[in-house]
Every structure is written in C-alpha cells, then in structure tokens.
Amino acid sequence: MRYLPHTPEEIQKMCQDIDVQNIDELFQVIPEALQLKQLLDLEPPLCEIDLLKHMRELNHKNKNLLQVDAFLGAGAYHHYIPVAVNSLVSRGEFLTAYTPYQPEISQGTLQAIFEFQTMVASLTGMELANASNYDGASALAEAALMALRVTKRKKILLAKSIHPQYRHVLKTYLLHQNVEIQEFDWSENGRVTPALIKEYLDDQVAAVCIQSPNFFGIVENLSQLESQVHQAGALLIGCFSEAVSLGMLKSMGDQGADIVVGEGQSFGNSLNLGGPYIGLFATREKFVRQMPGRLVSETIDSEGNRGYVLALATREQHIRREKATSNICTNQGLCALTTAVYLSLMGPKGLARLARQNYDSSHYLQRSLSALPGVELKFASPFFNEFVLQFEMPVKDILFKLKEKNIFGGVMIEQDFPQLKNCLLVCATEMNSKKQMDHYMQALSEILNSEGSL
C-alpha cells in the first residue's frame, strides 16, 4: 500500500520498543466483543491504472457542460475560470495546510484571507467580511441568527423571491430558536415593494431578508425599503446567489443593508455538482462581536513586521462553546483563496466587463426567446443574467425536447413556486456564445411549432 511507509522489519522494531508482541495487542484496549474480526465488505482495492479507468468510466456516465449548450443558473453559474486560478490553488502549500492556528507558519493562508476579506467587504459595500461560510444558503441562515442576537427580537421576514433552497436551509437552522418566520410575496413585476413588507413590520422583527438579483434574476431596489426597515428597528439583510452581479450593481451596503451575504461560487469556483462553494458574509464593524465564523486581522510581530492572525476567537466555539456565535469550525478556506486569486486576476475593470457581458448575453437571449409565439417574459423588471419565461404548455416537455437537441434549456421552477405554472428560469453567461443562443432560439421555435401543429 503506497501510502503506508512501514516495512515489516520496522513494524517489528516499533512493537518491540513499545513492548507489545504485535499491533493487534494495541487494539486489546477495545473490548473483545467490539473488535471487528472480519474484513469490511468493500469493493477490492484498485491500483492507480484501474482506479483512473474506473473513475473515467463513472465520469462518462455524466453529461457535462462542455458537451452541451447549457442555460442553467438558479444559484450555480457556469463561468470561465482562468487557468492560473487552479494552478495556484492546487499548490500543496495551500491545499494541504490546516486552519492557520500557528500564525508564524501560516502567513500565506492568513494574508490571502485578509486580502479576501478586503475584497468581499469592498464588493458588498461593507466594513468587514469573515473568512467564509459553507455556502450562500448557510450564510443567509447565519445572518438571520446574527440579527436575532443583535436585536434580541424573535421574528424574521423573508422574501419569497429568495432562492428556495436558501429559505429551506434558513428554516432548518432556525427550527429550534423559537422564532417566527414570515414570508412575503413579490409584486406583479417580480420585485419587493415597501407596501409588501409594511403589514408584517412590527417591533418584534429582527431582520428583513431580500435577495438581489433575486431568484428570478430581477434586480431589487433595497434603498426603497431601507428606511422603513430601520425605522422599525430591524436589520436589513441583503443576499445574492450570483456574485458576478456585484461587478455591475450598486452594492447592497451602499443601499443600506446591515448584513450582506451570498454565494461566491461564480468567483472562480467550479460548478462541481453544487459544492464545494463558498458563503460570503460581510457586515458593519459595530456588529463584529456578533459575527459568525473566523476573522483574520493584521498585526505586528516582535520585530515590527506586518503579519496576520486569527482574531476575536472569543466569539467562536472552541473558546465560547455553547455560547459561541456559531458552531462553525472548518469553513471553505480553499474556496476563499480561489475567490481572492480570481478577483485579483479580474480586477475592477475585468469584473465590470464580465458583468456587462453577462447582462448583454442574457438580454440578447431573452429578446430572442420571448419574441417567439407562445413565450412570455414573466416579469417586466430589470434583470441581471437570468430571467423567467412562461409557456402555454408544460415546461417539462419542452426541456425534454430541448435535451434531445443537446440543450439544457433552463431550470423548472414550478415545484417550488406552484403559482408560476409553466415557467422556466433561463440563464446566459459569458460561456454562451451568440451561436449557442441562436441555436437555442431555433430549437425552441421548432419545438413550439411542432407542438402547435399537433
């Protein structure tokens, strides 16, 4: 076994030094009845050649996005990842280090996180950001928990236009916190308006949570809601699932949000069937003691050199135990590094240009598709890079037929939103060429026509 370096002679010598006959004697501390006498019932081991063959075979049972034209978003986005990202992130010095508990020999990880925190804070319009949460969904749940601690209130208002999985995770996290969760609707144009929250805003509301761009891709106007929320003594939590939008849209911090959380997958992290992704979490300095997760701070060493350490650990589980601000320990460190590397490559101008390309592509596609008879753009509001189409026939059939033409046409949203019958969430990014989009329109047109003639 190539990962186990001991020779039989070495094992014998070590046993002698420990004063046991053999290794099994060490396991006699386990009561006899609990010792496993037979081998585990697992598949036989594979050598590297066979292992790679087996894994390639499994791979081939999947159809990946390089093999199809895909227009899928809904919380996970297909973006270009510069080659330099993985070349840096896969360095063993980053990949195989643990949490930076010994700062003198972890400055690489620590400085990178400091740079990451700076970028996230700046992009969200906030004063600081933590070192990451698991994903956008759990970051939103942790933000709600934080708002409960800050305000000492017991109610959370949640826009129904937030990603359904984020709302689901939030509800799971808050299940036993003795809290009321009130969900509110979107208006006819898909946006949240002040009137929609008004009736729920009482003196027990800890936070109002809004996503922008929301699950339907629509850009929300938080500044319209901000004064109302704050007058009620609640916090405004802004969340996002498409981080590339931050390159184009006014930050939610600048629109008055108190906590901004979201999914950072789009910043250089592969789609990977949904993980690992990265929860971004930013807030204002006055709330720092209620913040979950790790934080890195700049400091100096005994010779006056600039250096970095984990700070404010007194909020965390290993010090505060059941009184900690969160149970989170291991976070998404390497994805934070990925994000920092990616954002360094893009710079402010690259990110702005990328965001604009996403906007342009998706709008081109939307115009092409909704021009077809039997296709309606569901919401007449500004969107970023995804949009909802409504059809006159079941989306399931359309998607099936598109798939036959090698197109993944979008995400069906009816299961989560029964009121959005025959609706499809379609996304286009810089990965979708004009040719691909024209092909999509052509294919859809043929499908709808053939249906119509039946």
Cβ pair 256, 100 in contact under 8 A: no
Q: State the Cα–Cα distance between residues 307 and 381, nearest whole angstrom.
A: 47
Question: How is residue 394 written in tokens?
Answer: 């079941």
Q: Per CB under 8 A, which of residues 187..216 are in contact with another protein?
A: none
- Per DSSP, what are the bridge partners of residue 263? 279
Kindly report the number of other CB atoms within 10 A of residue 202's CB atom: 13
Question: Taking CB under 8 A as the rule, does residue 403 contact another protein?
Answer: yes
Question: Taking CB under 8 A as the rule, does residue 86 contact another protein?
Answer: yes
Question: Taking CB under 8 A as the rule, does residue 289 contact another protein?
Answer: no
Determine which residue in the list 188, 189, 227, 274 makes contact with another protein, applying CB under 8 A.
274
Determine which residue in the list 225, 243, 244, 346 makes contact with another protein, applying CB under 8 A.
346
Question: Taking CB under 8 A as the rule, does residue 353 contact another protein?
Answer: yes
Q: State the Cα–Cα distance between residues 207 and 230, nearest whole angstrom.
A: 9
- Nearest residue to 329 (alpha-carbon basis) of 320, 337, 317: 317
Q: State the Cα–Cα distance between residues 308 and 310, nearest whole angstrom.
A: 7
Quick one: 165 exposed, middle or buried, by C-beta within 10 A (0-12, 13-18, 19+)?
Answer: middle
- Find the shortest distance in angstroms from Cβ 451 to another protein: 20
Determine which residue in the list 44, 195, 199, 231 makes contact with another protein, applying CB under 8 A.
44
Question: How is residue 123 written in tokens?
Answer: 């992009």
Q: Compute CA distances 387 → 202, 335, 366, 368, whole Å.
A: 33, 28, 7, 13
**Taking phi first (over 0 means left), then psi (-120 to 50 degrees means alpha), and beta for anything else, what does residue 410 get?**
left
Q: Per CB under 8 A, which of residues 129..168 are in contact with another protein?
A: 129, 131-132, 134-138, 163, 165-166, 168
Cβ nearer to another protein, comparing 70 with 375: 70
Cβ pair 295, 274 in contact under 8 A: no
Q: Per CB under 8 A, which of residues 404..443 are in contact with another protein?
A: 408, 411, 430, 433-434
Question: Taking CB under 8 A as the rule, does residue 305 contact another protein?
Answer: yes
Determine which residue in the list 21, 60, 152, 418 makes contact with another protein, applying CB under 8 A.
60
Determine which residue in the list 158, 354, 407, 444 makes contact with another protein, applying CB under 8 A.
354
Cβ nearer to another protein, comparing 156 with 337: 337
Determine which residue in the list 187, 189, 227, 297 makes contact with another protein, applying CB under 8 A.
297
Question: Taking CB under 8 A as the rule, does residue 357 contact another protein?
Answer: yes
Q: Per CB under 8 A, which of residues 310..329 are in contact with another protein?
A: 311-312, 314, 316-324, 326-329
Query: How many residues touch another protein (CB under 8 A)?
Result: 205
Helix (H, G, I), strand (E, B) or coil at 423: strand
Q: Which residues contact 205 (CB under 8 A, 6 or more apart)?
A: 153, 155, 156, 157, 232, 233, 234
Cβ pair 266, 244 in contact under 8 A: yes
Cβ nearer to another protein, comparing 70 with 398: 70
Cβ nearer to another protein, comparing 188 with 301: 301
Cβ nearer to another protein, comparing 86 with 233: 86
Helix (H, G, I), strand (E, B) or coil at 129: strand
Cβ nearer to another protein, comparing 187 with 449: 187
Question: Taking CB under 8 A as the rule, does residue 377 contact another protein?
Answer: no
Question: Taking CB under 8 A as the rule, does residue 5 contact another protein?
Answer: yes
- Find the shortest distance in angstroms from Cβ 300 to another protein: 6
Alpha helices in 152-180 (DSSP H): 164-174
- Find the shortest distance in angstroms from Cβ 208 to another protein: 18
Q: Per CB under 8 A, which of residues 94..133 are in contact with another protein?
A: 94-109, 111-112, 114-115, 117-119, 121-123, 127-129, 131-132
Cβ pair 261, 139 in contact under 8 A: yes
Determine which residue in the list 156, 210, 337, 398 makes contact with another protein, applying CB under 8 A.
337
